Amino acid sequence: AQLVESGGGSAQAGASLRLSCAASGDNFKNIIMGWFRQTPGNEREFVASIWWRGSSPSYADSVKGRFTISRDYDKNTVYLQMDSLKPEDTAIYYCVGAHYLQDVTHAPSYDYWGQGTQVTVSS
């Protein structure tokens, strides 16, 4: 599968943004999807993941209650709805996919990565 993100941009603290990730490839429906983010000088950080048929969403503690991950099988797309944004959410956000995972927070376990989209939140 190939992954292409969109929807990044700039926002004020407290505002909302929605990221989209369009997947191509016949095996999209069998892939675990998720989002990571990265800031300069830091490792990629797990944000959220969602399993087949939209089950078992997982979130990092830092975004729990503010971000929502979802997927649309008809559109081959996964979304990250980001509400109540904070300046510390500023990062490049990557859409990811994996055929199998034991630890959804383990970045090297993901098979597919998008090119990334910048999110900037100002106070």
Mind listing the pLDDT tens digit for each residue in 38-76?
999 999 999 999 987 767 899 999 999 999 999 988 888
Q: Which residue has the tokens 């969109």?
A: 6
Each as own residue / partner, the long-range contacts of residues 38-43 (CB below 8 Å, 24 or more positions apart, any chain) are 38/91, 38/92, 38/94, 38/116, 39/90, 39/91, 39/92, 43/107
Whether residue 85 has pLDDT greater than 80: yes
> Which residue from 88, 102, 2, 100 is spatially nearest to 45, judged by alpha carbons?
88
pLDDT greater than 90 at residue 25 = no
Confidence tier at 26 by pLDDT (50, 70, 90): low
pLDDT at 113: 96
